[in-house]
Structure 1
Amino acid sequence: MSFGDEHDDAFGADSGAGGTGQTRTRLPESTADTYSGGRRPLRGSRSLVTVVGVVVLLIAAIAFANRGDGSDDATGAGGKGGAAAEPTAATGVKPVKGEAGGIPTGYAKDEQGAQSAAANYAVALVSADILKTDLRREIVRRLFVSAKVAELQAKLDQAYNKDFLDRVGLDADGNAAAGMTYVSRTAPVGTKVTEYTDTTATVEVWCTGVFGTAGVSSTNPVTNDWFTMTLKLQWVDGDWRVESFSQKDGPAPVNADRTASDADEIAKAVEQYGGFTYAR
């Protein structure tokens, strides 16, 4: 179950509001002449010099290879003036200055700030809290531009109605039955800016996540999903806010051959492992 599978039932994909190889180094076997006894090898000092020279050259070659092109003027992901950042490395300035209601706030007014905002907002929009009326309205109020708050609240209230909550095994307040734990946790895998101006940005956030109800008698077991959220952002009152968002399935990798954990293990994992503030 994912945001795309169930959350889109009421308002669609577009919210409108929006074995392993190894390399080994083998030591050379002894080449000593077994018939030479204790005879000292000829030109031992010259051989030693040769070996030392080879080692020095190897070290220099490795250092040169690791150095790259020596450029120090990269501007990070999406930057205009230098090489792109490493795709797995966080880059740039400190991502946020604070938080409000558990949601990171205070992003930089640049492409990296927009990517950080979009990643954290995607997590909030597909969280378990979004199914609880009061928390949902607080999330919407904090994330969206003021002109879109009322419209989106109405759409999300309609989307997460009693019929929807019944299907996922939750009561009218978005709570799981006794002995059950509702799971909805998203992990951004990467971000990409597709449009950017001084006051607007469109950011795609590639996500994976776990969704469902953990419990012995659950009819909606926890599964994983892959999807991409597109968020259109505006710079308002010194921070990035969401104008609209949409979602599509994938890109999804081939599922690994793993034994599924039982419901109790999943529930404990959700309770014991905290989330992250995502940054670019």
Structure 2
Amino acid sequence: MSHGDEKGYGSSSGRTDDGYSTIGGTRQTRTRFPDGEGGDGYNTPRRPARNSRSLVTVVGVVVLLIAAIAFANMGGGGGGGDSSGGSGNGGSKPDSSSTAATGTKPVDGKNGTIASGFAHDDQGAQSAAANYSVALGSAEMFDKAKRDSILHAVIAPSAVNGFRTTLDQAYSTGLFKNLGLNDDGSTPTGFTFISRTTPIGTKVTKSSTDQATVEVWCTGLIGLAGEGSTKPVADGWFTITMELKWVSGDWKAVTHSQKDGPAPVGGDTRASSADEIAGAVNGFGGFTYAR
């Protein structure tokens, strides 16, 4: 729910040994400028680097592991909805269809807690990819029984066994310890474990009647909220590429890969307390995404 040279993305791959392969990952790439040449465009001095944030980022990066289970790293196609209407600054304006609602009624089907019954077109593929990104980047993936249920709901039957085998190896005792969880992946008493992926937008890069490749631009949260936590909740930005196939009347995922960004400039919003973060995650539910 990242990667220049991505290892472990072949059809027989297991988990990559790159610690920056993520599922909904939180790795952030920063360009450091000398004072007076900050990236804000106003020649203001750059704020001092926050080493603690870098440490949190490294910890969070190992969590969302779906990129490591991809069986094919799909390249970008010729899709895209941008128009070239920009003038004066050399940029381009987005097509109105990239931000406007379609007016199509959202899906009303459910496969467990995951949306189902998507339209057999590009719009339905985008909606499926967005919803599946949320499910595959959720905290439920750290529970074996819930993980298997999610895989059966979102992965094509022909690919489920491969995904399950790789993920069972990836969600290991060592990973749980690195995240501050118990050996079985459960959350220690007094803490709230947070792993949440939120799609920002989608686009189709390749499509045919029964297949589509969709990119989902996401932001995510990962960490352990609670007093004394050494793994505080951090955020990240990433793009998931998902190949989907029309199977038995619905879209199902057959491959999944991920790369960092695009990431906006970090704001100066005060970091909330652990109690505030835990309260927000428990109090605000997620969405069913439909284009």
TM-score between the two structures when normalised by the length of structure 2:
0.70
Corresponding residue number in structure 1 for 2:206: 195
Corresponding residue number in structure 2 for 1:263: 274
Corresponding residue number in structure 1 for 2:62: 6
Quick one: which of 110, 129, 139 aligns to 1:128? 139
CA contact (8 A) 2:63 2:222 kept: no
Structure 1 SS opposite 2:232: coil
Cα deviation, 1:165-187, whole Å, max 9, x if unaligned, reads 11101124322101100001111
Structure 2 SS opposite 1:3: coil
Corresponding residue number in structure 1 for 2:5: none
Q: Percent identity?
A: 50
Corresponding residue number in structure 1 for 2:228: 217
Q: One-letter code of the match for 1:91?
A: T
Q: One-letter code of the match for 1:178?
A: T
Q: How much has 1:14 moved relative to structure 2?
A: 6.0
CA shift in 2, pair 1:238/1:85, >3 Å:
farther
Corresponding residue number in structure 2 for 1:230: 241
Q: One-letter code of the match for 1:157?
A: D
- Aligned: 1:171 with 2:182: yes
Corresponding residue number in structure 1 for 2:161: 150
Corresponding residue number in structure 2 for 1:186: 197
Quick one: which of 140, 163, 176 aligns to 2:151? 140
Equivalents in 2 of 1:172, 1:142: separation in Å?
Answer: 26
CA contact (8 A) 1:15 1:245 kept: yes
Structure 2 SS opposite 1:231: strand
Aligned pairs for 1:61-80 within 5 A = none
- How many residue pairs end up in the alignment? 217
CA contact (8 A) 1:143 1:242 kept: yes
Equivalents in 1 of 2:67, 2:160: separation in Å?
Answer: 18
- Aligned: 1:100 with 2:111: yes
Larger Rg: 1
Deviates more, 1:267-276 or 1:86-95: 86-95
Q: Which blocks of at least 5 consecutive residues in structure 1 are unaligned?
A: 19-76
Equivalents in 2 of 1:238, 1:105: separation in Å?
Answer: 10
Corresponding residue number in structure 2 for 1:16: 71
CA shift in 2, pair 1:138/1:275, >3 Å:
same
Equivalents in 2 of 1:103, 1:12: separation in Å?
Answer: 20
TM-score between the two structures when normalised by the length of structure 1:
0.73
Greater share of helix residues, 1 or 2? 1
Structure 2 SS opposite 1:210: strand
CA shift in 2, pair 1:113/1:2, >3 Å:
closer
CA shift in 2, pair 1:184/1:135, >3 Å:
same
Q: Which blocks of at least 5 consecutive residues in structure 2 are unaligned?
A: 1-21, 26-60, 74-79, 82-93
Structure 2 SS opposite 1:94: coil
Structure 1 SS opposite 2:125: helix
